Amino acid sequence: MHLKHSTRNGRSFRQEVTTIMAWRGCFLKWAKTDFIRYPKNISRSSRVNPYNQQRCSFRREAKRPDTKKENITQELNTSPSEAGTAGPPPPPYIRKPTLFRPLIFTVGFTGCSFGVSAILQYETIKSKVQTAKDGEELEKLALGSPDMAYWHDWWNQLSGFRRQLILLMSMVDDLWNSLTEGQRTATGIIAINAAVLCCWRIPSMQRTMIKYFTSNPASKTQCLPMVLSSFSHYSIIHMVANMYVLWMFSSGIVSLLGKEQFLAVYFSAGVNSTMVSYLCKTATGRFYPSLGASGAVMAVLAAVCTKVPEAKLGIIFLPMVTFTAGNALKALVAIDTAGLMLGWRLFDHAAHLGGALFGVWYVAYGHKLLWRRREPLVKLWHNMRFSVSRGSRPGGRPGDKGGGGGPGHH
């Protein structure tokens, strides 16, 4: 009886516990949905879930609930400082550069180039006259010495290495003298470009090369790179192409203008072509660095093609194809114009056009405006040198009227 009673009491106790647990679950479920309100900006994934917290191994990522429209609106209207997170940085503001200083530098550098070239031509002519007189005197001395045994003894006393060195120097001198004056001038320009190309390969000089040997209107250094970038190439192929064209046209341009005038045109064309590039970059807002001698080389090519438009030209890889210099210039100008209009970035087409226009302008008008008016400057330089040479003589005074002026003084 006692066992039956305890069993019956145990079953009734279990039923009561089961009933209480069922009601408790219903109450919690009802209370959780109706009375326990979480803030709207807190998602369900951030609420405490004891079942998820008890898992110690790999846990499956909770599904992200759909965000309500009002929450999206609230997040969009919230500023980054209020949300506690930094927003995306604003795009950098690029101030349009002023081109007043580059323009003044271009005008001043062009005038100085032609002025220095005029003085250099004066000094070259004077040096040639002096050399010719010295050569005549040496020739008279050599003819007046009947015995040449001294020079044979001197040669025989030299070692084998010194003889080979003298023979090598003689061969180099013969090769140099076999070049035309234009090719010798172009050789100096090619040597400068090759030296700058080697400097680009030195890691410690990269920052200096970018600052001074690339032209960019947005850079702090605007004027000096206008000159130095005309002798700067980063690619070997680029330098070889430009220097090959310069070498081919150097003899023609120097024979037409002379060495000194050619140098003035070459330097001025490099600066003027860079100025045109600055103008186009500032107008379009595309600020990127440029380098290369293409603008100066285009001026040389355009000057020759304008001066001799009927000259026959060809392509090195296609010798059977020939065309006139005038047509070649028109084709190059058309290609660069199309590249500038379409925004091609392979070359600085604005600098190419600037160099070509400068070459055409100089042959048509610039020669009369600049080079033919150099006489007053040359006379001023001559008077300055003459007065200095008289004042430096022993016993001479600047006010003296006597004394010869030397070769070239009239």
Positions marked catalytic: 294, 352
* Beta strands at 312-314 and 322-324: parallel, antiparallel or unpaired: antiparallel
For residue 108, give both structure tokens: 């001043």
- 């998820």: which residue's tokens? 52
| Bridge partners, residue 136, by sequence | none
* CA distance linking residue 277 with residue 279, whole number of Å: 5
Alpha-carbon distances of 342 from 106, 195, 286, rounded to whole Å: 27, 34, 13
The letter for the amino acid at 154 is: W
Please, what's the b/e burial string for 80-114 (b: 16 or more CB within 10 A of its CB; e: otherwise)? eeeeeeeeeeeeeeeeebebeebeebbeebbeebb
* CA distance linking residue 269 with residue 294, whole number of Å: 10
Of the CA atoms within 13 Å of residue 182, those in its CB half-sphere come to 20
Alpha-carbon distances of 18 from 13, 27, 257, rounded to whole Å: 9, 14, 115
Is the distance from CB of 253 to CB of 182 less than 8 angstroms?
yes
Largest CA distance in the chain: 164
* CA distance linking residue 23 with residue 209, whole number of Å: 84
Q: Chain-centre distance of CA 397, in angstroms?
A: 52
